[in-house]
Structure 1
Amino acid sequence: MSAIPNAVTQLVAENREVSAPSPAQREEAIRASVLAKLGRPVRLLKVAVLPLWGNNFRVNVWTGEGASADAIPNSYFVTADERGGILRSEPPIQKQY
């Protein structure tokens, strides 16, 4: 009988690992969602997803041709779910590219 609770506990733990992405996976999902909604800027350097608190993030889209030409033409304050889906964005993300 004692093996059954251990098996259930193990299945629950494994399910949590599958259902809860790592912080890096969550940030990657946010990055992909922003680019899908915004489009891909010319000379895209990176999309920085900066965790703030809880489910809130700052997302900066960097463009340019080098360190001296870097610019942030798009910046968003984003609230995301546990999987990285964007729930809210300020300003709203609109297709630009």
Structure 2
Amino acid sequence: MFRVLLRFELNPGMEKGFEDTWLSIGNVITDHPANLGQWLLRSSDEESVYYVVSDWVDEKRFREFEHSDEHVQHRTKLHPYRRGGAMYTMNVVHELVGTRG
């Protein structure tokens, strides 16, 4: 599995609009056959900072999506809310599932 972690630093006061937009366009990613799911998280330590975690079947398929027109359009809709951010990618080495998972 290939995991992507995005860090979004938002313009203050735009959190609600960002969340609503993210929810309204999220199917662009989750409908992709190589996507295994995604999560939106709000930092409990930093004001106006969010994270998105998405899992993909492999890096090749993620990179194909990353350079697609669908992704560019998706990113364009979120861009007005951002003042900065970063992307981190990683390969899952091991997975331990909890008893409740």
Q: TM-score, normalised by structure 2?
A: 0.31
Compare CA radii of gyration and give the structure with the larger one. Answer: 1
